[in-house]
């Protein structure tokens, strides 16, 4: 039995609903508890604040948020991450999140509350990142 890739599934079905693995999209998506739906990416460019599913070579997939759109690529950051990813291109992106289920309630990315959340989250990401880095540094100092 051959395994279907996400690209193949989206090509055949247009969208898919899945449960994320990991903590990179906390607090929006909780591992094993929440669901997200992505729609196959078309030829259009993604927008700032979009949550995208992209392929990280050789065989891993990542669901993170676009924080900056550049001429030829994007800067991506998970909501719970401190390291930005550069050079993600349209060719890497296979889907864009259109809805999600959080704590049992389905939400569209077009809801006003979600749009506010995503903009606030991106706007304050430099402060969150600085705080997380300072906290990690303090922990290292205490341990040594």
In the 8-state DSSP scheme, what is residue 144?
A: -
Alpha helices in 44-124 (DSSP H): 112-123
Q: What is the predicted pLDDT for the residue at 1?
A: 58
List, in order, residues 6 or more apart from 72 with CB less than 8 Å away: 89
**Do the bridges between strand 85-88 and strand 74-77 make them parallel or antiparallel, or are there none, so unpaired?**
antiparallel
Q: What is the pLDDT of residues 117-140, one digit of tens each?
A: 999 999 999 999 999 999 999 999
Q: How confident is the model at residue 144 (pLDDT cuts 50, 70, 90)?
A: confident
Cα distance between residue 121 and residue 128, in whole Å: 9
Q: What does the alpha-carbon distance between residue 45 and residue 74 come to, in Å, rounded to a whole number?
A: 10
Whole-model pTM: value is: 0.93
Q: How far is CA 33 from CA 18, 40, 91, 114, in A?
A: 11, 23, 30, 18
Q: Which domains does the chain have, with CATH numbers?
A: 6-143 (2.10.109.10)
For residues 142 and 144, give the distance between their C-alpha atoms in angstroms, rounded to a whole number.
Answer: 6
């Amino acid at each position: 039995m051959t395994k279907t890739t996400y690209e193949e599934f989206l090509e055949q079905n247009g969208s898919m609903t899945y449960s994320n693995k990991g903590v990179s999209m906390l607090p929006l998506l909780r591992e094993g508890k929440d669901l997200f739906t992505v729609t196959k990416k078309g030829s259009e460019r993604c927008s700032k604040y979009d949550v995208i599913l992209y392929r990280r070579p050789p065989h891993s997939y990542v669901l993170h948020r676009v924080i900056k759109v550049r001429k030829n690529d994007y800067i991506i950051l998970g909501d719970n991450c401190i390291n930005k990813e550069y050079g993600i291109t349209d060719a890497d992106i296979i889907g864009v999140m259109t809805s999600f289920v959080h704590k049992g309630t389905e939400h569209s990315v077009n809801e006003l509350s979600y749009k506010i959340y995503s903009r606030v989250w991106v706007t304050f990401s430099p402060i969150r990142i600085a705080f997380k880095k300072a906290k990690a540094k303090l922990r290292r100092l205490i341990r040594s």
